[in-house]
Amino acid sequence: MKNILVHAAGDEGLTTRIESALAIGRRFGSHLSFLISSPYQQFIAADPFGGVYLAKEQLAQAQIADAELEQRLRAELEREDVPWDVAVADGDALSTMALAATLADLSLVSLDTSDRRGRHASTIAGDLALTVPVPVLALPADAPPIDLDAPVMVAWNGSPQAASALRAGVALMRDAASVTLVTVGDDDGRVAAEDALRYMSRHGVHGELRREAKGMDASEEVLVRVADEIGAGLVVMGAFGRSRLRETLFGGVTRFMLDVAPAPLLLMH
């Protein structure tokens, strides 16, 4: 993981994103790219008669805030021993991050917070995972930075999404204290859990299989319980095996985990 993209916004999760990116950068010799998204088009309004208006005062305030954030980031990162750059892009967070992520190995965003323009970060994480074929590391805003030596839980249901997440996350598992591959219920899906363990072992990651009965609890509730029991510092999981609309309307594992997040989530669609 040599190219790490980090969502830079003036929200409460920024410090966790910075420290997590630095931890990954030091471990893998990565370059960190911090991206400030500035959707200036939101300050342009049109009336029914064809008139176009620019909210100059609000635009100026937004530009000042972006400049202050960029200056703050540069001041903090200059003291670090990891290569980095800071860029400002015109557009909303999803579109600018999606474009920049096309040549990234990992994208970092936060959960349980909103940026100053009101977009909820868990929405950014889910949308980004659906938009680009790049793993998304979604960090709880009120949690410590990621611990790459902590236990890892892999949520496995044999789906293509789970397999993609496993392939994307195996590098982050190499120094974990333990790796537990968890299945819930009797349905292994298209790819057996034993095959997933074999794949990990060929990458030097030796995990154990834990089969959980579904019982009265939903699959997502079982996953959260197991993550808490093993003290997971990272949860690796496929994102939106069902349609995004269906999960929004009726709920689902991805939606639940984005809202609850017992640990940082590595998401891949």
Torsion of CA 104, 220, 112, 87, to 10 degrees: 0
DSSP state of 41: G
Q: Which CATH code is given to the segment(s) 152-268?
A: 3.40.50.620
Quote the CA–CA distance of 263 and 129 in Å, as a whole number.
17
CATH fold of 3-140 reads Rossmann fold (3.40.50)
Domain ranges in the chain are: 3-140, 152-268
Q: How far apart are CA 181 and CA 236, in angstroms?
A: 9
Q: How do the pLDDT tens digits run along the chain, 269 residues long? A: 999 999 999 898 999 999 999 999 999 999 999 999 987 666 566 556 655 555 667 767 878 889 999 999 999 999 999 999 999 999 899 999 999 999 999 999 999 644 444 444 457 898 999 998 899 999 998 889 999 999 999 999 999 999 999 999 999 999 999 999 999 997 667 899 999 999 999 999 999 999 999 888 999 999 999 999 999 999 999 998 655 544 443 348 898 999 999 999 999 98
Token look-up 């540069």 returns: 74
Q: Tell me if domain 3-140 and domain 152-268 are identical in fold.
A: yes
Predicted TM-score (pTM) of the model is 0.88
Q: How far is CA 212 from CA 44, 177, 188, 206, 216, in A?
A: 53, 21, 12, 20, 12
Which residue in the block uniquely carries the two structure tokens 């029914």?
48
